[in-house]
Amino acid sequence: MAYITEKNLTDVVLKRWQDIPDPRLKEVMQSLIKHLHAFVREIEPSGEEWFKAIDWITRTGQMSDNKRQEVILFSDVMGVSMLVDAMNNRLDTGATPTTVEGPFHVANAPEIANGGNMAKEAPGIPTFVTGKVRSLDGAPIAGAMLDLWQTDGEGLYESQRGTEEPWMRGVFRSQADGSYSLRTVAPIAYTIPMDGTVGELMEQTKISHMRPAHIHFAVSAPGYHKVTTHLFQKGDEYIETDVVYGVKAPLIVEFEKKSGGKAPNGEVLNEPFYVVHYDFILQKQAKAQAA
């Protein structure tokens, strides 16, 4: 056996870790060792710095559970969540692009009739969203499922409100002509949780910890690639600096302000409201898989 030196150590470790029957795990471990060693060689940490890093990673894991996921948050602010999402959703130009799901989706949202209100008593400016679900060739998709979730007008999701009943989420279906219509309230920009280890790190930077206002959508229909995405409010001050890198140009939409009157779903309001129009363009599944 060769004596270990600073110079040969990486090669010795790489050779040892070749002994892995699963070819994918072998590929992953070889790459991990190569890049991890290169990183450590580049930064040359002192022993004190290395233990500080170990302590940070330990605390990040310890504060994660099924409600609070600090490891995912770290992946998000490093841009890795968006990179994995992009690589796994290489859709054709013209198809509605995906973006990160984030930690606030709750399964089994209540089904709400077309034109219905998912905000109920939630605070915020009434907002009416309408549009169509279409395929890339323009054909309307009937019966598509639109699963929505978002903050209320005070920037809080259901899990942050701690309500018994569903809060700011709902499932809508596209109609025979592919159209959908719903009422909600305008979401507002919010900060990622800053009371954990990721916040501790962010506080040492000048990076914005805000996410621009957005509504989450997961749109699915049999035979089509499911699109988990957001619609962002055009003009939001954080649109260029989203802390999790979720903004893509086709997902920025105008929230058109109306002073009152008849809303797209037929309701008449005596207060200001927003109208948002957006068509979701889905790509056939076979094509997405072949890409």
- CA atoms of 62 and 249, how far apart (whole Å): 37
Residue number with CB closer to Fe ion (196 or 212): 212
CB 93 within 8 A of CB 280: no
CB 130 within 8 A of CB 180: yes
What's the token pair of residue 88? 């796994």
Residue number with CB closer to Fe ion (182 or 215): 215
Residue number with CB closer to Fe ion (26 or 105): 105
Residue number with CB closer to Fe ion (115 or 187): 187
In the complex, what is the shortest distance from the CB of residue 104 to Fe ion, in angstroms, rounded to a whole number? 6
Residue number with CB closer to Fe ion (134 or 169): 169
In the complex, what is the shortest distance from the CB of residue 73 to Fe ion, in angstroms, rounded to a whole number? 12
Residue number with CB closer to Fe ion (140 or 155): 155
In the complex, what is the shortest distance from the CB of residue 187 to Fe ion, in angstroms, rounded to a whole number? 8
- CA atoms of 286 and 54, how far apart (whole Å): 44
Question: Is 199 in a helix, a strand, or coil?
Answer: helix
> What's CA 21's distance to the chain center, in Å?
35
In the complex, what is the shortest distance from the CB of residue 178 to Fe ion, in angstroms, rounded to a whole number? 26
In the complex, what is the shortest distance from the CB of residue 82 to Fe ion, in angstroms, rounded to a whole number? 13
Dihedral sign computed on CA atoms, order 227, 229, 233, 238: negative
Residue number with CB closer to Fe ion (159 or 220): 159
- CA atoms of 265 and 122, how far apart (whole Å): 19
Greatest Cα-to-Cα distance within the chain, rounded to the nearest angstrom = 83
In the complex, what is the shortest distance from the CB of residue 49 to Fe ion, in angstroms, rounded to a whole number? 34
Closest CA to 199 of 211, 189, 188, 191: 191
Chain position whose Cβ is nearest to Fe ion: 102
Using CB under 5 A as the criterion, which residues of the chain lie in contact with Fe ion when the complex forms?
A: 102
- CA atoms of 190 and 210, how far apart (whole Å): 6
Question: Is 259 in a helix, a strand, or coil?
Answer: coil
In the complex, what is the shortest distance from the CB of residue 191 to Fe ion, in angstroms, rounded to a whole number? 11
DSSP 9: H
